Amino acid sequence: MKNFLIFFSFLLIFSACEQKNEQKINERASINNQKSKKNNFGIILHGGAGTILKEHMSDSLEVAYKEILEKAIRTGYEILENNGSSLEAIAATIKIMEDSPLFNAGKGAVFTHHDTNELDASVMVGNTQDAGAISGVTRIKNPIDLAIKVMTDSPHVMLSGEGAEQFASEKGIELVDPSYFFTENRFKSLQRIKDSEKTELDHDGKTALVSPGQNDSKFGTVGAAALDKHGNLAAGTSTGGMTNKKWNRIGDAPIIGAGTYANNATCAVSSTGWGEFFIRAVVAHDISALMEYKGLTLKEASEEVIQKKVPSLGETAVLLPLTKRAIW
């Protein structure tokens, strides 16, 4: 009986040791998994949608585009690699494209019908779902900076026009003379569209303007989405809008849920395309909602919106979505 008790005690001790070892192994695996997730990060960008035919781009121009895009993505990547936030990464990435005349944002913004430049931008962070946006500004060197400042330093989400510029001045955001945004290439694009405008009679017998080339001038928005080592997503979008736009037209880029959206539980999205369709379909948020409420993957949700919903309205969609799940 004594031997049995000793043996039974040995079994209990051995079992307890095994359980402790197994628990330690599981704890280590969990810690390693958490470290792995913590060290995961990523960033993606877009320099606008649409097709640039090879015959319309010289070798030197192609090289210039690639250099700026590479500089932008490397800048954001290095910030994330050095434990910077996803917001810092997308801001730095987008600013590089805003400072280049090659993209329809900031310096390279397209012209309105009245030969001016009107800029829009927005940003959103996934952990708190705070957001900021600006629209119709004409003197802000880097619109993405002002969008972030609206998010961090005001009780509002969106500011527009002169009010947004007054806020920018009060907060130390860099302002420039509107002539800063003049680029010969963009101005010539406007003139080509204006030259192609035809006059027709509408149903009331009055003269109406038709711009057959305008639909081809809706692309060029820039944007970025990022995941940092802290597990936070962020997305941002910046644009000069549509060439030859009238009546202070505003597209989807500064509208949270249409052109930009971020939610740590699902994804971060920056959109580019014909803004009116993105607004009507609430594209960026719709992808997040499909993931959250229907349990779709990022790929499934994106395909549902891009290939089914938006085309049913009469337009194609171009998105830049990023999710933690895709990186992990």
Q: Which residues on neighbouring strands pair with residue 45, listed in sequence order?
A: 224
Residue 8 in tokens: 């039974």
Residue 252 in tokens: 């989807």
Give the C-alpha separation, 243 to 263, whole Å. Answer: 32
Q: Contact at 8 Å (CB) between 319 and 295?
A: no
Write down how long the chain is: 328
Dihedral, CA of residue 149, residue 279, residue 314 and residue 296, to nearest 10: 90
Give the C-alpha separation, 41 to 199, whole Å. Answer: 53
**Catalytic residue positions?**
221
Q: Is 307 helix (H, G, I), strand (E, B) or coil?
A: helix
Residue 145 in tokens: 């900076």
Residue 269 in tokens: 């999205």
Q: Contact at 8 Å (CB) between 229 and 92?
A: no
Give me the phi and psi of 44, to 5 degrees please: -135, 155
